Structure 1
Amino acid sequence: MNGKREAHETEGRETAPVERAAETNPAGAGAPQGGAPSGSQPDRDEAGRAEAGNAAGADQPEDAAPRAPEAGEGAAGDDAETDRDEEAGDADVAALKARVAELEREVAALKAQAQEAHERFLRARADLENARKRFEREKQDALTFGALRLVERLLPVLDNFERAMEASRATDNVEALMKGVEMVHRQLDQALRQEGLEPIEALGKPFDPNVHEAVMQAESSDHPPGTVIEELQKGYTFKGRLVRPTMVKVSK
């Protein structure tokens, strides 16, 4: 279609000068006034130049002429570009959806980890509370049963005291009474030692302010100064801890 239109336009350009020349000097017209003959030399030269120009224009390649776009060609290009834009937009939306799904999975995993950590914390707190209660109970049991054990060991001492008192009422034998008292003393001392109670030895030893308490001083020719020469009240330690110091008299 374009070739036919261009050929038609070329043919029109070739015939247009000839027609204009014919109109200027129509065939059979008489010579103009002044006696100039029809088809004079100037007219022929002008017509020759026009034909040469038309021939030169016809020899030019078709690509030199501007090409007008066919009907619908611009609309088709716009539609193709729109389709490409839509495809790119769809790809971006799909990528965003995939990223959102990935983030949602990560959030779900983090929530599960947080829930598990919270449950472990609750179990650990419950275990700690149970351990504390158990420790308090065992501590109280230790105090209770520790005292019970001491009481059990002192019961024979109490029994012997009662027997000694009954014997003293039934007889006037002081020697027998003293033996009973000494036996009770030994049992009591043994029971207390088994629990960790130890007497502090002080007589004849140098004065030690950590375990001795000097309440009196006296001259002594048998002991050097600063020596315990008499125990006024026995002191004790319980499992290495001072219960009370020994009250002593010290030489000077």
Structure 2
Amino acid sequence: MGIRQYLERLRTGLGWQRTAGPLMARLDNIQVEMAELTQQVTRLAARFEQLTQEVARLGKMQLQLAAGNEDLAQTCEETLQEFRRGHERYQELVEAVRREEKRRLEGQVIAALVKELLPLLDGLEAGIQTFTPPAGARSPQAPPEGLTVVQGLAGLWQRGQQALAGLGVQRLEAVGQPFDPYYHRAVEAVPVAEEQQDGRVVAEVTAGYIWQDQVLRYAEVIVGKLAGTGEQPEAKEGGIRQLKSE
């Protein structure tokens, strides 16, 4: 039996209208409030379910964002590394261009200087050779003793050679070397009796000079050809670029 029914019987059976009436009214209010609370609880439960689903969705989204952030961070790091490598390559390229430009300008200056200096050295060498016995060597490094003028010319020639060496310019060693069109220019071919002299430089008409891997002046030489052969050495352009002053 419910409380309401119990109170109703109590009120009817015992005649407690004055006492049970207010209780019955209060009970009605309580039941109405309970019904409203039940509805609120139901709505709150539904809302809680929605919030639970939303939290789950946000959690899943957060995991996806975290994974995406890791991928993005890795991509950014790889891009940064590639940029650094590209910058390093760019710096190396710029430095290489600078070195090449410096080398080109240095070569032009040296070529212009050597162009002015070589005729002087050639004149000194020719003057020294004038006083050298015909049977002697063509090199001016050992002039005849007692000839002060020749010694003075030889000293100037040596200083000129030292100046060229200080610039990195080297004189080509031609006599006795195999004829090489990359360094030599054949102005004449003379017959030789020995086979080992065939195709070799037997005399130097004009000295040749190089700077690093570039020919400043080709050596003009006389080449030996074994007697009985009619072939002549070819004076081709070599594979080394010749510097020209501007």
Whose radius of gyration is greater, 1 or 2? 1
Q: TM class by shorter-chain length?
A: 0.3 to 0.5
The structure with the largest helix share of the pair is 1
- RCO (CA 8 Å, sep 6+): is it higher in 1 or 2? 2
